[in-house]
Amino acid sequence: MTRPARKIIHVDCDCFYAAVEMRDDASLRHRPVAVGGDPHRRGVIATCNYAARHFGVRSAMASSQALRLCPELVIVPPNFDKYRKVSAEIHTIFRRFTSQIEPLSLDEAYLDVSDSKQYHNSATRIAEALRREIRQETGITVSAGVAPNKFLAKVASDWRKPDGLFVITPQQVEDFVKALPVTRISGVGRVTAERMASLGLKTCADLQAMTRLELGQQFGSFGERLYHLSRGEDNRPVQTGRRRKSVSVERTYDKDHPHLNDWLRELDGLLEKLRERFAKLDQHYLISGLTAKVKYQDFVSLSCDTAGQHLDAAQFEALFRQLWERRQGPARLLGIGARLRDLKAPQQPDLFPKERELALQRQRTRHL
C-alpha cells in the first residue's frame, strides 16, 4: 500500500533580526535597517530589511560597503539573547500544532503536520493559523510553504516573501517542478549554476531530460540528487533530534593577514578553540575529515579538506598551505573545522562493537 504524501510546512521569519529590532524601536520601521557589525571595524551585515535590500544591501556584505550603497542605512548591533528569546516564543507556537519540528536556525524550521488533528488535518489551514498566531503574539511576520516534502516546502516558503503563504499540492508537483528554475534547487550555488547555464539547463524540465549517467558525468555525486530533486522527489523525514555533521571555528580580523606565515601563526589559537568545541560534544561523534577556509580581502572564499581522524596541527597547516598555493593574498578571515561521523545515526549492525568502542575512546583521548 502506498504511503500517503507527507504534509510539510517550512516556516521562515522575514528578515528576522531586523524585524525584531524594528518591532522594538518604532523609529526604525520606515527606514532601511540592517543588523551587523561596526563598519569602522570590518563588521559584516547579518541581515537587513527589504528597504535596505532595495539598495543592494545583503547579508554577509561588509558593513562599510553596505553604507556606501545606502548612506541612510541604520546598522544595529546584534542582540542574540533577544533573538533567541523571540525564537523560543515562536517554537512554543509551533508545538501547538505538532511535535514534529526540525529547527534549521533561530528563524527557520520544518514542521511535519501529516498526523495533526487540527483544522481537519488541512496543512494549509494550519499554516494560516500559525502565521496568524506568530504575528499576533510576537509581532513578527513569517512566510510559509506547504508541500509534500522538505525540498518543495522550502521552495514554496520563498515564493511569496515577505509575509506570504504558498501551497504545492501533490497533484501540482509535476507541473510545478518542470517550470522551476534550476537556481531554485538546494545546493545549486553560483559555480554549479554557471555550469548549468553553459549546458543550456534553465529549468528542472531540462534536467529531467538527462539520464542519471549524464547527470553524474556533468555534476559528480550531486548528479544523483539532481535527478530526484528535478522531479520533486525528496524522502528526507523531519528530524526532531538533529545531530551535528561538523564542528568548526573561524575568526575575522581587524587587519588583513597578508602572508602565509601570518596565517600559520593563527593556527594554534584556532585549533585550541576547535578542540574545546569538540570536547563539549557528546561521546558519540568520530572525526571523519578536516577542513580549512579562507576569505580574502575581496570577500572571495576558498576551502579545502582532507581525510583525517584527529585534530592534528600538521594536517591543518598542510591545508592552509594548499589554500595559499591556490590563491596567494591577504586574508580577512581564517577558519578550520572537522566533519563528524555520528554513531547514533542509523547504520548497519556493528559486527565489532567492542573494537569500535575502544577506537572511540582512543580517538577522544588523543584530542584532550
Annotated active-site positions, please?
A: 108
Region for 176 from its dihedrals, namely left if φ exceeds 0, alpha if ψ lies in -120 to 50, beta otherwise: alpha
Measure the CA–CA gap between 321 and 51, rounded to whole angstroms. 42
User: Bridge-partner residues for 13, per DSSP?
Assistant: 142
Annotated ligand binding at 206? The verdict is no
The alpha carbon of residue 204 and the mean position of all alpha carbons in its chain are separated, in whole angstroms, by: 22
Three cell numbers, residue 275: 578542540
CA–CA distance, 263 with 265 (Å, rounded to integer): 5
Q: How far is CA 71 from CA 38, 42, 45, 67, 299, in A?
A: 14, 17, 14, 5, 21
Preceding omega of 170 cis (within 30 degrees of 0) = no
- Does 342 carry a binding-site annotation? no
Closest C-alpha to 124, from 91, 146, 98 = 146
Residue type, 54: H
Phi then psi dihedrals of residue 211, to 5 deg: -80, 165
Q: Are the CB atoms for 283 and 364 separated by under 8 Å?
A: yes
| Sign of the alpha-carbon dihedral angle for 241, 247, 253, 258 | negative
Question: Is 110:104 a contact under the CB 8 Å cutoff?
Answer: yes
Element (H, E) at 156: helix 150-157
* Listed residue (253, 232, 242, 249) closest to 338, CA to CA: 249
Grouping H, G, I as helix, E, B as strand and the rest as coil, residue 4 is: coil
Annotated binding site for Mg(2+): 12, 107
Annotated binding site: 12, 107
